[in-house]
């Protein structure tokens, strides 16, 4: 059983290793034939460690603010685990976005999956199918995250019906 300090170290190490490393490799899961639109912008994220007595993985809440053509707020949760093998870890997260996308109001849910396999990184972020609401109903898409000089940026490829 991990104590709180160990869980926080694991969660932080997973987050730093999977997201904060500049230019992390991203797997694009979308279909290039969909003729998606692309928007780019900045976002800020705040993470708060959570405690689970009977759960040996790191857990954090997420609060994000998006700026640019994707503008609004999202909240979510992240689970992470770092193995005993150096450079191997994983995380999953769900975040619920509410705001506007190029002036269209609504929301959708993003699913994150990050894996480090002995230092080799992959990250996949997709819009959960049928999670769109309001003017964003029916949205599909993928997101990429880049970090430059400590600032977070998104690249969001999407398609609306």
* First-to-last C-alpha distance (Å) of the chain: 48
pTM of whole model > 0.85? Answer: no
Q: Which helix (H) or strand (E) element contains residue 133?
A: strand 133-134
Domain range spanning residue 35?
4-159
The C-alpha atoms of residue 63 and residue 48 are separated, in whole angstroms, by: 9
CATH assignment at residue 141: 2.40.350.10
Would you state the pLDDT for residue 69? 96
The C-alpha atoms of residue 75 and residue 97 are separated, in whole angstroms, by: 7
**Domains contained in the chain, number:** 1
What is the chain's pLDDT, residue by residue, as a tens digit (161 residues)? 343 333 334 444 444 444 433 333 333 444 555 577 888 988 899 888 887 777 778 899 999 999 999 999 999 999 999 889 999 999 999 999 999 999 999 999 999 999 999 999 999 999 999 999 999 999 999 999 998 999 999 999 999 99
Residue 35: how many other CB atoms lie within 10 Å: 7
Which residue's structure tokens are 């991990």? 2
Which residue's structure tokens are 């705040």? 46
Would you state the pLDDT for residue 16? 44
Q: Which helix (H) or strand (E) element contains residue 73?
A: strand 70-82
129-153 confidence digits (pLDDT tens): 999 999 999 999 999 999 899 999 9
User: Tokens at residue 6, please?
Assistant: 């160990």
Cα distances (angstroms) measured from residue 115 to each of 36, 142, 160? 26, 17, 29
């Amino acid at each position: 059983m991990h104590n709180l300090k160990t869980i926080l170290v694991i969660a932080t190490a997973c987050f730093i290793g999977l997201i904060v490393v500049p230019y992390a490799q991203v797997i694009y899961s979308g279909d290039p034939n969909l003729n998606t639109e692309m928007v780019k912008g900045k976002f800020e994220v705040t993470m708060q460690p959570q405690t689970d007595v009977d759960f040996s993985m790191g857990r954090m809440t997420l609060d994000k603010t998006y700026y640019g053509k994707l503008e609004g707020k999202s909240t979510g949760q992240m689970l992470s685990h770092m193995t005993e093998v150096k450079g191997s870890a994983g995380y999953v997260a769900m975040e619920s976005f509410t705001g506007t996308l190029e002036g269209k109001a609504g929301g959708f849910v993003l699913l994150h999956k990050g894996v480090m396999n002995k230092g080799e990184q992959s990250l996949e972020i997709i819009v959960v199918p049928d999670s769109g609401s309001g003017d964003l109903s029916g949205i599909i898409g993928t997101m990429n995250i880049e970090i430059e000089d400590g600032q977070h940026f998104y690249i969001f490829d999407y398609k609306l019906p």
